[in-house]
Amino acid sequence: MTLVLALMLAQAIAAQARPDSFADLAQKISPAVVNITTSTVVAQGTGPSPIVPEGSPFEDFFEQFRNRQGEGDRPRRSSALGSGFVISEDGFVVTNNHVIESADEIVIEFFSGETLPAEVIGTDPKTDIALLKVKADKPLPFVSFGDSDTARVGDWVLAMGNPLGQGFSLSAGIVSARNRALSGTYDDYIQTDAAINRGNSGGPLFNLDGEVVGVNTAILSPTGGSIGIGFSMASNVVKRVVDQLQEFGETRRGWLGVRIQDVTDDVAEAMGLEKAAGALVTDVPEGPAADAGMLAGDVILSFDGKDVADTRSLVRQVGNTEVGKAVRVLVFRDGKTTTLKITLGRREDAEAAIPVAQPGGESQEPAEKTMLGLTLSPLNDELRAQLELDSNASGLVVTDVDNLSEAYEKGLRAGDLITEAGQQKVAAISDLDDRIAEAREAGRKSLLLLVRRAGEPRFVALGIEE
């Protein structure tokens, strides 16, 4: 019993321990952190200059002023500063893509003061990561990636880099939040209050074991300086990107070949789903998913054995899966689940893929009808021409929307094309009447519509209670 109490006391003391100093850790990791200087030749006139009307008496004056300043029509060289870190003894360096983008020359400065030129191995604008390489005549000190998924809110972290061009600098803080998304498809940022400023971009965020758990990328600030809201791309994302850049010189992300949207509560109710989760397929262009039999209106519940929470999680799961891998995808369709086996393609090869138009017949009904807050008309040749639709397009055209209706609140506008209702094609107003009647008979409170605008599909659930 005494031994058990002693162990419990030791654990409690360790849990409350705080570092008296970060000096030993800083001394250990500093040699692997680098300053990055880039230079770019910029054509004359690309910078800000006074606007002077042609023929003005001031035109000659400003021309003489530019010439005295050495500008004239000659190109000038622009410099920028950033940070990075060495990940291997043979000289691979990680930084942000925006630090070295468009650079003609990249120079790496080490903590010792030594400088070496660097070449770009590969970049990934989607995660803002770049991999560089320097040639050194001796093994270089380096740091390793840690597991960012184990970082908890409240953990100590250290940011190191070259803030505001002042040279090597260390700041300490905590993990303020996890899984932040800014604007990118594959964003997974660690938010920290460790001071990050301009010039810190591309530098490492360390845990107390000296492992890199993030790459400092962005700050949120109304002033341009640190206010304690900084963002570091999580190391588990960075490591996958770096491994691919190191092996292939480019990224190779998995591609499913679907367009998707989140499952909202009203969409879940309209489809008979138990909860609002998964990714709702709005379109299936030519590609891996279409080849495997996936359909618009399917809800992807799990991918490769992992539950799908929403569209963001599915995009990341697919992107992180090996190109060419055959995966099992569980979908909800017509009130039951179906498993599809899909061999993934490569996203980079399909970035410009155009969705395949859905065929359908043409309605002969000429009349308009108002329902669900929408004034609808069957699609005809005249409307096809007005909306610039293919000759094989079919559906009901929204010609007007009641400003006080649920449909207006959910974004439907004149010119939208409704191609499906209740996951069945509609070509005539009577088709939509039938779908509404069927949904009411089934006890549903809403009806799921597939709406296309400028070729882009999305699902909208509208209430149908009488």
| Token pair listed for 346 | 């490569």
What pLDDT score does 226 carry? 82
User: Catalytic: which of 201, 226, 235, 446?
Assistant: 201
Active-site annotation holds for 83? no
What b/e sequence results for 135-154 when a residue is b if at least 16 CB atoms lie within 10 Å of its CB, and e otherwise? eeeeebebbebbebeebeee
Report the run of H or E that residue 173 belongs to, with start and end: strand 169-180
Active-site annotation holds for 302? no
The model's pLDDT over 248-307, given as tens digits with 9 standing for 90+, comes to 999 999 999 998 888 989 889 988 898 999 999 988 989 999 999 999 999 999 999 999
User: Catalytic: which of 98, 221, 291, 310?
Assistant: 98
What pLDDT score does 51 carry? 47
What pLDDT score does 69 carry? 55
Give the number of C-alpha atoms closer than 13 A to the C-alpha of residue 389, restricted to the C-beta side: 30
What pLDDT score does 389 carry? 81
What pLDDT score does 364 carry? 42
Cβ-based neighbours of 184, under 8 Å, separated by 6 or more: 126, 127, 128
What pLDDT score does 457 carry? 85
Question: CA angle at residue 125 from 121 to 128, to 5 degrees?
Answer: 90
Instruction: Chunk the chain into consecutive blocks of 10 residues (it has 466) and report each block's average pLDDT, rounded to whole numbers.
Output: 53 57 94 92 50 50 56 61 94 94 91 94 93 94 96 96 86 94 81 92 96 92 80 95 95 92 89 91 91 94 93 90 94 93 91 42 56 89 80 86 91 90 86 85 82 84 82
CB 256 within 8 A of CB 318: yes
Confidence (pTM): 0.70
Residue 425's nearest CA partner among 295, 268, 291 is 295
Cβ-based neighbours of 367, under 8 Å, separated by 6 or more: 377, 429
Active-site annotation holds for 201? yes
| Token pair listed for 369 | 């009808």
Burial class of residue 21, CB neighbours in 10 A (0-12, 13-18, 19+): exposed
User: Catalytic: which of 128, 188, 283, 304?
Assistant: 128
